[in-house]
Amino acid sequence: RQAATPGRRRSAVRGDGERRLRGYSGPGPDPRDPQLLGAVLEKLVKARGWQQPAAEATVFGAWERVVGPEVAQHSRPVKLENGELTVEARSTAWATQLRLLASSLLQQIAREVGHNVVRKLHIHGPAAPSWSRGPRRVRGRGPRDTYG
């Protein structure tokens, strides 16, 4: 009599104790229906606790979208550690400009990737070659003593 009751689904118990539905799913939504890949990934990220690393990766992967095309053309993120983002500017003039825009950049980053992902910005100009350090350093005045 129970098997002949329409609308009732039979279930079986799997080895891990979870109940599994048998038979056809019918016209309504069912957990066995195909899922969108984005929704499945979102559930996986949430279940594994990967929200923070995913947000940090967005800062690097989508830098142009996060800060805008003009700023992204003249800068690049270098390192994100303990909520402090190090940004390298293409020139010293752009480094100065980015320092002046630091608060608005922090707001844009927070709006795009979430709050407390980036709490502080360290902005540097372009790195010049160092004549005083390196594997082939020679004692003396450096390159100045060979000119003229």
For residue 8, what pLDDT is reported?
Answer: 53
Q: Which residues pair with 89 in a beta bridge?
A: 75
- 12 alpha carbon, distance to own chain's centre: 41
Return the pLDDT at 100. 94
Helix (H) or strand (E) holding 79: strand 75-81
Largest Cα separation within the chain, whole Å, is 106
Query: What was the pLDDT predicted at 55?
Result: 84
What pLDDT sits at residue 30? 80
Q: DSSP label at 17?
A: S
- 3-class DSSP state of 68: coil
Tokens representing 45?
Answer: 């990220």
Q: What is the pLDDT of residue 120?
A: 93
pLDDT averaged per 10 residues, the chain (length 148): 56 56 74 86 90 86 91 92 91 93 92 88 82 69 59
Residue 29 is predicted with a pLDDT of: 80
Query: What's the pLDDT score for residue 32?
Result: 79
Nearest CA to 131 out of 118, 142, 115 is that of 142
